[in-house]
Structure 1
Amino acid sequence: MKTTTQLFKIFAFTLIVAWPAFSQKKKIKEVTAATKPNIVLILADDLGFSDIGSYGSEIQTPNLDKLAHEGFRLRQFYNNAICAPTRASLLSGQYQHTAGMGYFNINLGTPAYQGYLSKQTVSLAEVLKDAGYSTLLSGKWHVGDDSTTQWPRKRGFQHSYGNIGGASDYFVIKQLPKNKRSFFVKDDKIVHPDDEDNFYYTDEITKNAIGFLKDQREEKKPFFLYLAYTSPHWPLQALPQDIKKYEGKYDIGWDSLRILRFKRQQELNILGKDQKISVKNSDLPAWNSLTYDEQKLWARKMEVYAAQVDNLDQNIGRVVEHLRESGQLDNTIILFISDNGAAGEDVAHGFGGRAARNWGPVGTAGSYDSYTRNWAYASNTPLKSFKGFQYEGGISSPFIARFPSKITAGGLVDGTAHLIDIAPTLYELAGAKYPQNYNGNIIKPLAGESLVPLLFGKDWSRAKPIFWERAGNKAVRKGKWKLVSVRNDRWELYDIESDRGETNNIIAQNQQIADELKTLYDAWAKSVEVEDWKEIGKGKGFEPSFNP
């Protein structure tokens, strides 16, 4: 078996030499008001902070790494810690409560917790369509289940394909009756896969996206493509040829993998030299404490997870290649983010009764498994915790932007940006007017700040604090300070500039700063109608029973 040092050298070298070949053949043209940029917004699902090569991973992601090399990255970009609230903020430019999804796509009985996009908000698709764009969606929706009022075509998308809910099988599950299998919706019509043997959902998302782009060329308009992959969200189901690439690579275990990724992040300058890796929870087992058979099973889970990320990257490459071949790539801004940190749920044991769905080995169509907290901590290296919590591991995402006519290649800055900043950024780039009224409804002002100066290499610093709340988990970030409370009323304070891993709670030495941040949080919570979770959340929805 190779040593961890040898393995680290191998994947570091691989990352350097593996840039793909979708280079630009045409001369870059200056974007003017007459040539509005196309927009491709790519959202991964449950992808950890360190799961792609340009953020420290050993997983083969050459297409995303190429986008990063030719574009711009942020060290600090924030989401809302979990699927539906993130998508609500991304699509609306509002905090999740203002958008109507304070908890999830579940109606808890108040406007801020109604479980679907509010009529007092407008979607990216609605605004950009009015600005002359074709609006296209391929992938996951998860911001409204009612087909008559809430599906994508009711919120501004001219064409759409994908799953409406939060998760989907990647393969056709032949053991289930057709009416109980994962279903997909194309332009408001439920569709089932025609070719059961060749269907793989990540590939299908790309196939439909490229189909929409080809059809859109006839309209002679700029396009907005929202490419919302479900990968690498559970279940662990991947193509055999992708799994094969990673066989044996995770026999080193999660403890060694975290160290390898941390070292790589330091080399890539993703972290400051003095940053520390987060402290792993004491209830998570050490790799060396497992038996041989346990290690092989756990290693297999990570092999499949890596295969899903690898396949995601392949599909992003196919979209980029289509844009290149069609001559549209140079005038297209591409953004890539993830909806939350890596997921710690154990879906095979006790989560929604899904244990009954495990009919076959991990990775196959019969599997409904997940890789749980053990590997999630490695995926989120060097950050603390994972999906669902407001520690950095739950709310942090990679951020890549590529737009060669405006964005200088190779940029890497802290940024301290949030989902709510995407809408004002895209509206500025598109020359789109944000409405005060829409379909007879008064529209809430945008909550975020345009990142255009930051993307284009100009001085930019965040003017407003950033806030979070979900299921009683709370946080506020202002400057270098972050105040956070997870599942209780005990607040913790961290200096994120020097302690991104949240290893040292310094609230005792900085009580005045904590009090000031708490006052800001309370005022924000009132303004967006945050409810006391102990009351509104009684007995409703899934809440993780594990420690963050």
Structure 2
Amino acid sequence: MKQALSFTALLLTCMLSLAQDKRPNIILVLVDDLGFSDIEPFGGLDVNTPNLTQLAAEGTRFQEFYNNSICAPTRASLLTGQYAHKAGIGYFNVNLGLPAYQGFLNKESLTLGEVLKNAGYSTILSGKWHVGDDRDQWPAQRGFERSFGFIGGAVNFYEINGENSPTVPLLRNNEPFYLPKGRYLTDEITDQAIAFLQDQDKENKPFFLYLAFNAPHWPLQAPEEDIQKYESVYQKGWDSLRTDRYRQAIAKGVFPAGQEIASRDTVIQAWNKLTYDEQQYWQRRQQVFAGMIDHVDQSIGKLRKALQTLKKDDNTVIIFLSDNGAQGGDRTRMYTQRNTETVGRAGSYEVQNSNWSQTGNSPLRSYKDNPYEGGIGAPFIVWYPKEVKANAIKKGTGHIIDIAPTLYDFAHAKYPKTLNDVQANPLSGISLREVLATDKNQADRGKPLFWERAGNRAVRHGKWKLVSLYKTGNKIELYDIDDDRAENNNVANQYPDVVKELEDLYQQWAKETGVVDYERIRPQRNSLR
């Protein structure tokens, strides 16, 4: 009898504990190929993003927040808290024959889904995966109890084939899902997430939602009503808008006053040298891109209304960021399929090119897949009124390896040394919670940040940033980011001791992380963007 009473008391204690679980829900919103100033809170006043503007006004923005410059490596670090090589995706989601370049997440790098599920959270994913193509590498096999989306790196936003041969290959909880014709994928990603949250509401525990939009990644496709909102907005062209966004970024406080804009990419043709027809063509391209961003913002508003209906809006952390800077490339660079429709509509396959992307990344230098600030610098917004400072702009100097420890901190989730008999890699980043919740202006990690992707390298240590590119024979460049975030002035020759220190630190990190000389693993064809 005593044993029965004891068991009943234990059961009641557990039920009471679950009922009192006041840990915050967490929503991690990742967008794809969004430039630094492509949204209003970071200087893009030409794009309508009222929901992100509200999150920024009620939350905290970082001036400096870094990614890995390209899709799959960024997602590997975001999901695991590891440098991409340590997680197995040092190059892309292709297997190049070495552990650091196997092209899918290794078991030792625990995902946000696995750790938070183990800590008592419901775990949900809706959107893009891109960190493992085979079934045993899918979201459901890596800790996500509910999942919807696509596995690869890019997909159409509209279905143009029949159900038997879909051009938008989707999965819902590991089962094939058909996107109805005329349905915009951003809407489906959003509505699936909301449906999962409504279903999860029956469970008496907090949730983690990883909402990974593929917009505004190519192909450039958006609902026509969103495209038409931007009629005539871009007639001033990329040169004028680039400098406008630079001034607006300073006015917003997300770019330091007194610093110069990045030098103009001289390969790009001047807007006023284009013919009238050329200007009309390029305006339409940017209208579509803006419409895609606009629609993501609408989706965030829709999600927040759903949270209010579920009465969970006051205890939810929302984080917003991009996986890399805007896409570079020239006008001849096309999606692998041929256009059968006007840009923006189903059947068109255009990509964002350097001309508008230089504006998207303004005031920063370069583009996606490069370790300059325009490639690795991203918008970063955190909203949680219970704790996170409102309308705050901080230097930050955060990195995607910091997201996992930050979320585990908010969730009071202990990162396990082993899980399912697998010894876990230690986390590489630090929690940003103190920076977000106090007057502290910058993360104090006490060690550098590192990048390597396809032979392109960078090190950030204090104010110094070392950069070397594969295409230049790894010529060393050095920048003082505190005075020159636009990376206009290479001071490597003036500070040889700093160059040597950062080179030594990089070599040590490369050895510890499994990075090898790019020539050793370089694919014969590099078209994976």
TM over 0.5: yes
Instruction: Specify which of 81, 87, 102 is matched with residue 93 of structure 1.
Output: 81
The superposition leaves residues 358-390 of structure 1 with CA deviations (integer Å, 9 ceiling, x where unpaired) of 111111101000121111100000000010000
Residues 96-495 of structure 1 mapped to structure 2, 5 A cutoff = 96-147=84-135, 149-174=136-161, 178-193=164-179, 195-197=180-182, 199-345=183-329, 349=332, 354=336, 356-459=337-440, 460-487=443-470, 488-495=473-480
| CA spacing shift, 1:136–1:177, aligned 2, 3 Å | closer
SS of structure 2 residue aligned to 1:161: strand
Whole-Å separation in 2 of the counterparts to 1:134 and 1:112: 30
* AA matched with 2:168: S
Whole-Å separation in 1 of the counterparts to 2:480 and 2:453: 22
Number of residue pairs aligned between Structure 1 and Structure 2: 506
* AA matched with 1:504: N
Q: CA deviation at 1:344?
A: 1.3
* AA matched with 1:50: S
TM-score (norm 1): 0.90
Q: CA deviation at 1:535?
A: 2.0
Paired residues of 1:416 and 1:462 also in contact (CA < 8 A) = no
Q: CA deviation at 1:124?
A: 0.3
SS of structure 1 residue aligned to 2:492: coil
SS of structure 2 residue aligned to 1:138: strand
Residues 500-519 of structure 1 mapped to structure 2, 5 A cutoff = 500-519=485-504
The superposition leaves residues 439-481 of structure 1 with CA deviations (integer Å, 9 ceiling, x where unpaired) of 2221110000110110101434232210000000000001111
* AA matched with 1:512: D
The superposition leaves residues 77-96 of structure 1 with CA deviations (integer Å, 9 ceiling, x where unpaired) of 00000000000000000000
Q: List runs of 5+ in structure 2 lacking aligned partners.
A: 1-18
SS of structure 1 residue aligned to 2:325: coil
Q: Structure 1 residues 305-314 or 449-458, which shifts more? A: 449-458
Whole-Å separation in 1 of the counterparts to 2:27 and 2:333: 38
> Is residue 2:22 matched to residue 1:38?
no
SS of structure 2 residue aligned to 1:120: coil
Q: Structure 1 residues 79-88 or 275-284, which shifts more? A: 275-284
Q: Look up the match of 1:535.
A: 520
The superposition leaves residues 65-117 of structure 1 with CA deviations (integer Å, 9 ceiling, x where unpaired) of 10000000000000000000000000000000000000000000011000000
RMSD: 1.5
Whole-Å separation in 2 of the counterparts to 1:301 and 1:143: 29
Paired residues of 1:139 and 1:227 also in contact (CA < 8 A) = yes
Q: List runs of 5+ in structure 1 lacking aligned partners.
A: 1-31
Paired residues of 1:106 and 1:541 also in contact (CA < 8 A) = no
Residues 7-22 of structure 1 mapped to structure 2, 5 A cutoff = none
SS of structure 2 residue aligned to 1:304: helix
Whole-Å separation in 2 of the counterparts to 1:382 and 1:253: 16
The superposition leaves residues 157-185 of structure 1 with CA deviations (integer Å, 9 ceiling, x where unpaired) of 000000110011111124x7842512101
* AA matched with 2:521: I
Paired residues of 1:415 and 1:461 also in contact (CA < 8 A) = no
* AA matched with 1:446: L
Paired residues of 1:33 and 1:431 also in contact (CA < 8 A) = no
Q: CA deviation at 1:207?
A: 0.4
TM-score (norm 2): 0.93
Whole-Å separation in 2 of the counterparts to 1:145 and 1:255: 40
Paired residues of 2:366 and 2:374 also in contact (CA < 8 A) = yes
